[in-house]
Amino acid sequence: MNSTQFHIYNASAGSGKTYTLVKEYLKILFSDDLVHHFKQMLAVTFTNKAVYEMKERILTSLSAFSEDDAVVRPPDMLAALAGELEVSVETLQRRARNVLKHILHNYAFFDIVTIDKFNHRIIRAFAYDLKLPSNFEVALDTVPLLEEAVDNLIYKAGEDTLLTKALVDFAVEKADDDKSWDIAIDLREIAQLLLEENHYEHVEQLRERTLNDFLALGRRLKSTIKKQESAIKAGAESVLELLEANGLEASDFSRGTLPNHFKKMAVLDFNGLYANKLAENLAEAAVYPKTLPEDKAFAIDALLPELSKAYHRLKKAVFNVKFLRNFYKNIVPLSLLNAVRNELEALKEERNMVLISEFNSIISKAIANQPAPFIYERLGEKYRHYFIDEFQDTSQMQWDNLKPLIGNALESETLAGQRGTLYIVGDAKQAIYRWRGGKPEQFIDLYRCQNPFQVEKAVTVLPKNRRSFSEIVAFNNGFFSHISEFLTHPGYRDLYKNRSFQETGDKMGGMVSLSFIAKDDGDAAYCGEVLRYIRQAVAQGFAYNDICVLTRKRSEGVTVADYLLEQGVKIVSSETLLLKNNPKVDFLINLLLCLLYPHDK
C-alpha cells in the first residue's frame, strides 16, 4: 500500500476523477478489518449534486462488492483494490459487507458534504464561542436582505444631516450626468461588496472609516481633478498655439489627426482620444502627407520632438484624470458602505440570521493567529482522512481555514502510530467559481511547487478522457493550444499550451461544428441557427431527449427556450421547473412574508 499521505490528482474532464476518489476512499475503508474508518473520513465538494454522486458511487460499489458472485466475477475496481492492498477478493468482499452494514446503521457519520455545510456544522457547534445565537437561521438568498438594508438606509434620509446630504448630493450628481436619480440601484450594486469574498480584505479596511472621512476625500478628489483638467487644457492649448505660431494648419497634417487630437483635449473631451495611430505616426515621423510643401514639412519635422513629448506627457495626465473621475464617481456609494453594513447587521440581529456568504469569514476570524485553533479541537481528533473535490474552485480563505485542521491530521500520529491522509482533486481549466473567491492559481501553484504541510506530496496526472468522443477531445486539444498564444497571463498560457492535452479514448463518432454569427444579427439569427442544428440532428435519427442546448447566460437560455417553444419544439429546462417561477407560489410566499412582518415597509 502506498505510504504517501498527501496526494494531488490533476484530473481533466472525463479522466476518471470520481472513480479515483471513490477508489482511494474505499482503499482506506478496506485497509484492515475495522469497520469504523468512515467515521474518521471527511470528503468535501462544492455542490449537493456532487455529494449525492460520490455517496451513491461509494454505496453502490460496496453493494456490488458484497454480492455473492463478486468473487467469481469481481468488478474492475474490486480487482484493482485487491491488487493494491495485496489481499484476496474474498477478504475484501467480507470487509465490504461489514462496512456497508455499519455505514447504513450509522449514516449520520458518513461525512461527504459541501464546503458550506461543513462550515455551517462548525459554526453551529461553536456558536457560543463565536458569539453567535445558538438558534440562528442561515440566510441562503442574501440579495433580498441586502436590498432591504439599502431601502432602510434610504428611508432614514431626513433623520441624519450628514447622511441626508450624502444621499441628496449623490442623487443630484446622477441627475446632472443625465442618469436616473434613483440611487438605490447604485447602492445595491456596491453593497454586493459586503457579500463577496474576493473583496473581503479591502472592505474590512474601510470598516473604521466614517462618512466624514469619505466626504473629505471626495472634496480633495474633486479639487485634484479640476487642477489636473486645467493643466491638461493649458497643455493642449499650448501645443495648438505652437502650431499656429509656426504657420501650420489642420490641413497640413494627415487627416488633421494631430491638431484635432489636441483640440479635443483642450475642451476635455477624452472619448476615443487614443483610438488612432497618432503615437505610432509620431514615432515614425509620419504625421503629414508626402505632398506637403517642403517648408511646412521642415517646420513640422523641427517640432516633432516637442510634439511627441507633449503627447506622451498629456496622455499620462489624461489617463490619471480618467482614473480619478472613476474613483470619484464611486466615492459616495462607497462612503455609504458602512451605513449599509450597519443596516444589514440590524436586520440579521432582528431576525436571528447568519448569511451563508459569511461562513468563511467567521471561521477565518476565529482561527486567525492561533497555532491550534480552538474550534478545530474536537474535529481534529475526529477526522484523520480528507478528500477535497473540485479544488480549483476553493477560495483562498476556504483553503486557509482548512489547512490547520488538515495539517493536524497529516503531521501528527495516533497512539497506534498512524498518520492522516489528504487527497486533492482538481482541474484549473474548469474553474467556475471566481465570483465567490475561487482561485485556480492556488491549485496550479499547489501541484507545481507549493506544499503547506510538513509531509511529501505525490502529484498524479490523469491523462485520458474516457467520457468524450475522440473527435471532441482532439478538437479541444488543438483549440486550446491555439488560443493559448493570445493569453497574456504566463501561468494560463502555459496551462493551456503545455498542460491541457488529453489522450483520446476508444469512443469514436463525435463531431464539432462551428458557426459564426454577426453581432448585429441579434437573437433571431442565433435562435434560428440553434433550431437548424436541432432539426438536422432529428433528421439524422436522434430523439429530442438526446439533444441539449447550452448557453453562456441564463437570459440567453430563456430566449432560446421561448423561440423553440414558438417553433413547436418541446423542451424541458431547469428554469421552467422552478417553483419560484410559478406566480401562484410567488404570491403565497409574499403573503406569508406580509403576515410575518406586518410592520415592514
Q: How far apart are CA 56 and CA 518, in angstroms?
A: 45
Q: Is 471 in contact with 510 (CB distance < 8 Å)?
A: yes
Segment holding 577, helix H or strand E: helix 574-577
What is the three-class DSSP state of 507? Answer: coil
The DSSP-derived string for 373-434 is: -GGGHHHHHH--EEEE-SGGG-BHHHHHHHHHHHHHHHH-B-TTS-B-EEEEEE-GGG---G
Residue 581's pLDDT is 63
Q: Which three cell numbers stand for residue 518?
A: 454577426
DSSP state of 469: -
Smallest CA-to-CA distance from 215 within 333, 132, 298, 304 is with: 333
Q: Which three cell numbers stand for residue 110?
A: 458518513
Phi, psi of 170 (to 5 degrees): -65, -45
Q: How far apart are CA 520 and CA 506, in angstroms?
A: 42
Q: Is 147 in contact with 188 (CB distance < 8 Å)?
A: yes
Other beta carbons within 10 angstroms of residue 240's beta carbon come to: 16
Burial of 228 per CB tally in 10 Å (0-12, 13-18, 19+): middle
Q: How far apart are CA 67 and CA 226, in angstroms?
A: 81
Q: Is 60 in contact with 103 (CB distance < 8 Å)?
A: no
Sequence-distant (6+) residues with CB within 8 A of 183 are 154, 167, 170, 171, 174, 333
Q: Is 185 in contact with 139 (CB distance < 8 Å)?
A: no
Residues recorded for the chain? 601
Q: Which three cell numbers stand for residue 381?
A: 481528533
Angle (deg, nearest 10), helices 490-498 and 470-483:
150
Sequence-distant (6+) residues with CB within 8 A of 467 are 13, 14, 505
Q: Sign of dihedral through CA atoms 482, 484, 488, 490?
A: negative
Q: Which three cell numbers stand for residue 210?
A: 466614517
Beta-bridged to residue 44, according to DSSP, are 113, 388
Residue 22's pLDDT is 94
Q: Is 310 in contact with 243 (CB distance < 8 Å)?
A: no
Longest CA span, the chain: 102
Residue 442's pLDDT is 85
DSSP state of 136: P
Give the mean pLDDT per block of 10 residues along the chain (601 residues): 81 87 95 92 92 95 94 92 94 96 95 92 82 85 89 88 85 77 85 85 87 89 95 94 88 87 91 83 81 86 89 93 90 87 91 88 79 62 89 87 88 82 89 70 84 91 88 91 87 82 86 86 86 93 91 86 88 70 80 83 61
Residue 319's pLDDT is 94
Q: How far apart are CA 346 and CA 152, in angstroms?
A: 10
Q: Which three cell numbers stand for residue 190?
A: 456596491
DSSP state of 160: B
Phi, psi of 425 (to 5 degrees): -125, 135
Q: Which three cell numbers stand for residue 380?
A: 481534529
Which CATH number is 6-117+360-462 given?
Answer: 3.40.50.300
Is the pTM here over 0.85, yes or no?
A: no
Residue 139's pLDDT is 86
Smallest CA-to-CA distance from 253 within 289, 278, 299 is with: 289
Residue 1's pLDDT is 46
Q: How far apart are CA 85 and CA 83, in angstroms?
A: 6
Question: How do the domains of the chain map onto residue ranges?
Answer: 6-117+360-462, 137-351, 463-503, 519-583
Q: How far apart are CA 96 and CA 35, in angstroms?
A: 9
What is the three-class DSSP state of 267? Answer: coil
